[in-house]
Structure 1
């Protein structure tokens, strides 16, 4: 079977504006972008609240050991399990998404995430030592499978409906789910922490954010009922229906002909996913355990920092439509590398009496991350032809997830309970940015 040609990613602005999409196409693109934003927001809300609960509660309940190092390591280990499952979800969903359509796989992923997250809220406090951790691990695996399947479907829903010259901007709506999910999760945790006593929060209040995930079922129904399959996949279906040869597995086609692209794409994102989860999750554990900052103050700062991403993600995606995906994406990589060590020095200078260094550290972190997050959806989608795009984009994105999910554990091990060791975390992120930049350069040369 001949290797399918891969379209070149858009790298420069066209000399003259392309013709506007017809009104019905613009309406469909806006509807698809809105559906992608809503579905990813709720999906990432579900995925992130587990990490927040692991940082605030699970290390004191299900995994309590009396050690400031061992307890959070055990708790964050279950967080990492979800990241290990994400590539599996990407592989399975990529196969079915390229063969049978983006929409049915996306709907299935939303349903799986909603059910698994709701059930986490019902995990019992039991005297049987192994039961609750085993249930958490199983349900966290289901979350990882769901988010691994969902990202590719939402991204392709947004980009394959979009006009070619606006794919970065429209694709960013799928990426918007990341900061919106963080904002929603932290807002709900803050509301519950404000409404109940600390003892009640640890006992049952932490369960409320998980029960809210039942709303995911209604979102899945709405997408199934009111949204059509993407135009590009409809063209692929028509092409394959006319072809007499039986089609091979899309995942195998990606691994056979595009494995280098997948690995380099994942390498470019490794620094982003590590910095994100250390910023959003790891800093909660460090600030509350090692620096003595209150839980409410930390959650409020993270809510503000993630809120900065909401306008920045579409802005940087728009810039990628104008000036090129890889340029804007590369600015994000360099920015994260340069900010990594100063960020953690500022965090180390924070205390319960002076939380402003922590706020500056996390807000600037989110600003520099946005330059990678914004153009990422369109960049990864444009690396692969439509026939294998779901598989290729999902594998490239989820390839970094395994190591990214272990970032909070690595952070705890590097710090080892000593605030003086915080700079080590920044050095790790800086080293990963060098690796990411090398992968981006190699990817650009490969595409050329």
Structure 2
């Protein structure tokens, strides 16, 4: 958002003056992340995760391009080419481990970013478009991650592709043709591997494009803040640079320490050991699971075990799994409370913490075997998950009595200011 007190870009060097006249790229950068972009002065560290998500995306793109130079998308040699990268390519092991663990880091950061939005009401007007584009980014991330998981062509890669694409077969009439179209055949094979490799390479650049739209949409109303109170005066804001570039820089340093510790000392911690076994269509693994970041939605899928009248359980599970994410698109209109931040919504805050616990249960059950008591826990957690968004949030937003809001962002930081004489 362009505030009247924001600094304007005024180049002094002749080269920069010429550049500003012919191609005002420096002006664009200055207005987007420099001193020309004013942000609320009370942003906490949860607002750093948006920047970290962008960093993770760039790590994935750079390492992915390098890996694509050595990977062979052919079922006869895909597994061997992955091992070739690990053993024979200079620094290939680092590129692969950085890429594989970078995907996990990306999802950790984005999950925190999403739940920050839930807590502080970042999806509310006038920032609905920012939220909607964020959900689109998350869906694209899931598609990209699934296709990337198939590429090593290990046991879990093959059977993961078989199970996930098989979900489309549950759709009446058109499901089986869609499944065959996705795979390019009746089962995961060379055609599927080539398609997944092409899309896995392309989609990160699509994500980058949507991220640019996401940031563009953010600059129209400006950043939200922990109070949910809009900017009222110059004292409520500070320039993004140097205040928040320094804060982001500190967070990036901490993130890179943790990320590097995993890459160098525990690179296979989040992977599945069966994926170091070449794909074998004749031998089904004892326990097929997707990557950990899919577990809550996988738990919702498996929560449906009984047919409902003429609707098969598998179809209901598939619909519920997709609905668990699509429901986020409607959150700006389901939550009708005029107060954004849960800091001032005591009843909503309690239910938010229950949602966090429920998501933790879904994560755990998604990675557990499909047996009791995990199936029953998944059913109870899935029931609450949908009830939270469809029933609890609308009711709470109508009956809740919020706490008093501060008059301004400055007041929330410095306390009530004495009246001027």
Give the TM-score normalised by structure 1: 0.35
Structure (1 or 2) with the greater helix fraction:
1
Say which one has the larger Rg. 2
Give the TM-score normalised by structure 2: 0.37
**Relative contact order (C-alpha < 8 Å, sep 6+): which is higher?**
1
